[in-house]
Amino acid sequence: MPSPHFCATIHVNYRSLKMLSTALWVTALALESALLLRAFRGNFLKHYRFFYFYLGWVLVSDLALIPFYYLLPKIYGYAYWSSQYFSLVVGCWQSQGFS
């Protein structure tokens, strides 16, 4: 009778995983940039300034994390979570504009 426990070994190619991660990161940066460019050209910035301010902040923080990811990978985790803390502060601060 076969064992009721299922065990599987998953072999991960970390180089492929890093390439996928980079591709997703670049795609997100491109989409954020396209949204901001479209907002600027369509004159949406003055109507939804808080949303686009936050989106701009996310774009800048994502761009600032790239050197940490590639050049200082041991510090990347600290830089990422610090940026998330500031993104939370910016997001909460900008949400006060809706009251």
pTM across the whole model:
0.73
pLDDT one digit per residue (tens) for the chain, 99 residues? 555 666 656 666 777 777 888 899 999 999 999 999 999 999 988 888 888 988 999 999 999 999 998 899 999 999 999 999 988 888 787 666 554
Any idea where the domains of the chain sit in the sequence? Answer: 14-98
How high is the pLDDT of residue 9? 62
Q: Report the distance separating Cα 99 and Cα 97, nearest Å.
A: 6
Q: Report the distance separating Cα 32 and Cα 60, nearest Å.
A: 10
What's the full length of the chain, in residues?
Answer: 99
